[in-house]
Amino acid sequence: MKAKIAILPGDGVGPEIVAEAVKVLEAVARRFGHDFEMTEHPVGGAAYDRCGDCLPETTLAACKAADAVLLGAVGGPKWDALAPEKRPERRALLTLRSELGLFANLRPAKVWDPLKTASPLKDEIVARGIDLLIVRELTGGAYFGKKGRGEGGKSAYDMIPYAEHEILRVARVAFEAARCRHGRAVAPRPPKVTSVDKANVLETSRLWRETVSALHAAEYADVALEHLYVDNAAMQLVRDPARFDVILTENMFGDILSDEASQITGSIGMLPSASLGASGAGLYEPIHGSAPDITGKGIANPIATILSAAMLLRHALGLSGEADAIEQAVADVLAQGLRTPDIAAPGGVQTVSTSELGDAIEAALIKK
């Protein structure tokens, strides 16, 4: 297959981890006989430093023209003082999400067998299994709502608008994902969607709950549906993560819950994500940020980005065998005991650098 992949390394550890994912994609191309045209484009603070814009027109155009986009991370203290609309997070990431129409963000969180001891949860909780998918709405809510200051800067507001059609389209993704996960389920359970809101307080959440319930009754009665308030969901994630299959939630709740979900699996350095729209190029990125504190030290975990590349192959290019091969190579390398410091729990493991871990995953992939 021929495919155009736009590569956006970005800031902080972005270039280090993206280099490893590119290495892995090249290995996939060699092993399976594909032709991936990967071209790098500046984004985030790095782009601002080069041309005064965190999302240059050429980068946006390249993303629109590509079959998929692989992104590292954007942002860092160097650009914190920029005006809010110029900052890497808003100008680069949020604009990319809205310009590409990426309303559904899939964030799978599971505990990899060899990493069970890296989870901060008690063994008996981890033993019940953690394998969930967060479906986060990505182009609505507080991130894109009207915001501003009043009283000469002494008061501020952020609106959380949601329209029924925005809720419906992302809820559909969650119900479909639940059906699909059930087909390939590791654990024998009925497919289930937990819709998370704050309907005891917020009007948008009441609309969210009504809309999800109506869609469920009309089209997805084979999937179990439960509603949880977000505070309760945050608590249940550490008390009994095995109760979750697919979590469907709005933009900001999804941002918060996905960091929590990542940590219970061992490290935020392990979680990939796929941002999808109705059609066209999706964006694939680790859920973690640019990690300025560890930038340039060669210790960042490249696995979240490598697994994002696997999601890219599966969702954007329909190459599920190739995606499985990457996931298997990651599992093999973890089973060999190779770890970056963030997942190096004591006992029988060897701590390696970002590029050594990438090399090992590449080698495991080619060896097959």
Work out the angle at residue 305's Cα, subtended by the Cα atoms of residues 273 and 275, and round it to the nearest 5 degrees: 25
Q: Report the DSSP beta bridge partners of residue 286.
A: 272
**What is the end-to-end Cα distance of the chain in Å, rounded?**
20
Determine if 250 is a binding residue for ligand IPM (CB under 6 A): no
Residue 32 corresponds to which tokens in the numbers above? 């399976």
Which helix (DSSP H) or strand (DSSP E) does residue 166 occupy?
helix 164-183
Q: Which option in Mg ion, ligand IPM, none does residue 174 bind, with CB closer than 5 to 8 A by kind?
A: none
Give the whole-angstrom CA distance, residue 368 versus residue 363.
Answer: 9
Using the minimum distance from each CB to ligand IPM, give the nearer residue, 23 or 315.
315
Using the minimum distance from each CB to ligand IPM, give the nearer residue, 89 or 245.
89
User: What one-letter code names the amino acid at 358?
Assistant: G
Binding track, positions 42-81, relative to ligand IPM; x by CB under 6 A: ---------------------------------x------
Determine if 287 is a binding residue for ligand IPM (CB under 6 A): yes
Which residue in the set 255, 322, 342, 362 belongs to the binding site for ligand IPM (CB under 6 A)?
A: 255
Ranked by CB distance to ligand IPM, the top (closest) residue is 89
* Rama region for 346: left / alpha / beta (φ>0; ψ in -120 to 50; rest): beta
Using the minimum distance from each CB to ligand IPM, give the nearer residue, 107 or 110.
107
Binding track, positions 92-121, relative to ligand IPM; x by CB under 6 A: -x----------------------------
Determine if 362 is a binding residue for ligand IPM (CB under 6 A): no
* Local structure of 278: helix, strand or coil: coil
Using the minimum distance from each CB to Mg ion, give the nearer residue, 245 or 285.
285
Give the whole-angstrom CA distance, residue 92 versus residue 10.
Answer: 10
Using the minimum distance from each CB to ligand IPM, give the nearer residue, 205 or 258.
258
Count, residues near Mg ion per rule CB under 5 A: 1
Which residues between 231 and 260 bind Mg ion (CB under 5 A)? 255
> Within a 13 Å sphere around the CA of 239, how many CA atoms are in the beta-carbon half?
6
Binding track, positions 289-318, relative to ligand IPM; x by CB under 6 A: x-----------------------------
197: Cβ contacts below 8 Å, ≥ 6 apart: 205, 206, 208, 209, 227, 228, 229, 230, 249, 250, 253
Give the whole-angstrom CA distance, residue 260 versus residue 234.
Answer: 8
Q: Residue with structure tokens 């629109």?
A: 64
Q: How far is the CB of 234 from ligand IPM (least distance, A)?
A: 15
Active site residues: 143, 198, 231, 255, 259
Q: How far is the CB of 250 from ligand IPM (least distance, A)?
A: 12
**Positions that interact with ligand IPM (CB under 6 A):** 75, 89, 93, 255, 287, 289
